[in-house]
Amino acid sequence: MKNFKRILLVLLVLLVLAQIPFIYRRYETGKLAEKIAQLDAQRTTNQDPTFKEYKGIIHAHTNLGGHSTGSFDELIAAANSNDLDFVLMTEHYSDTFDTAEKTLNGVYGKTLFVGGNEIDTSDGDRFLLIPGGGEAARVRMSGTTAFLNAAHASNQLALITYPEKFKSWDSQFDGIEVFSLHTIAKQMNPLTALGDLIWTYPSYPELMLAKNFQRPDANLAKFDEIAASRPISLFAGTDAHSNIGFHIFGDDAGNKPLGIKLDPYETIFRIARIHVLIEKDKEFNRESLIEAIRAGNFFVGFDAIGDTTGFVFRIEDIEVRTSADDHSPVPKRGELTGRNLEAIAPAPARFVVYKNGDVIAEVKATPIATGISAMDPGVYRVEVYRDDLGPPFDKIPWIISNPIYVR
Residues 365, 355: Cα–Cα separation, whole Å: 21
Tell me the backbone φ, ψ of residue 152, rounded to 5 degrees: -70, -30
Residues 388, 171: Cα–Cα separation, whole Å: 41
Mean pLDDT of 149-160: 94
Residue 328 has what pLDDT? Answer: 37
Residue 19 has what pLDDT? Answer: 82
Residues 301, 311: Cα–Cα separation, whole Å: 9
Residues 129, 144: Cα–Cα separation, whole Å: 12
Burial class (CB in 10 A: 0-12, 13-18, 19+), 51: middle
Domain boundaries, the chain: 48-310
pLDDT digits (tens, 9 = 90+) for 315-358: 887 554 443 334 433 333 444 456 889 999 999 999 999 999 99
Mean pLDDT of 171-195: 87
Reply yes or no on whether the pLDDT at 249 is more than 70: no
Residues 144, 171: Cα–Cα separation, whole Å: 7
Mean pLDDT of 368-385: 90
CATH architecture of 48-310: Alpha-Beta Barrel (3.20)
- For the four alpha carbons of 154, 160, 166 and 171, in that order, the dihedral sign comes to positive
Reply yes or no on whether the pLDDT at 18 is more than 60: yes
Residues 358, 372: Cα–Cα separation, whole Å: 14
pLDDT digits (tens, 9 = 90+) for 90-110: 999 888 889 999 999 999 999
User: Is 397:377 a contact under the CB 8 Å cutoff?
Assistant: no
Question: By mean pLDDT, which of 3-17, 125-139, 231-245, 280-294 is the weakest?
Answer: 3-17
Residue 251 has what pLDDT? Answer: 54
Tell me the backbone φ, ψ of residue 214, rounded to 5 degrees: -135, 145
Share of the chain above pLDDT 70, in %: 89
Residue 303 has what pLDDT? Answer: 97
Question: Higher model confidence: residue 372 or residue 111?
Answer: 111
Q: Maximum CA pair distance of the chain?
A: 107
pLDDT digits (tens, 9 = 90+) for 273-296: 999 999 999 999 999 999 999 999
Residues 179, 236: Cα–Cα separation, whole Å: 5
352 Cβ partners below 8 Å, 6+ apart?
359, 361, 362, 382, 383, 384, 385
User: Chain-wide mean pLDDT for the chain?
Assistant: 87
Which residue pairs, CB below 8 angstroms and at least 24 apart, start in 280-285?
Answer: 280/50, 280/51, 280/52, 284/52, 284/54, 284/85, 284/112, 285/112
CA 176 to chain centroid: 11
Residue 338 has what pLDDT? Answer: 63
- Taken as a whole, the chain contains a residue count of 407
Is 0.95 topped by the overall pTM? no
Residue 162 has what pLDDT? Answer: 95
Residues 304, 272: Cα–Cα separation, whole Å: 7
Share of the chain above pLDDT 90, in %: 64
The secondary structure of 16-36, three-state, reads HHHCHHHHHHHHHHHHHHHHH
What spatial distance separates the first Cα and last Cα of the chain, rounded to whole Å? 81
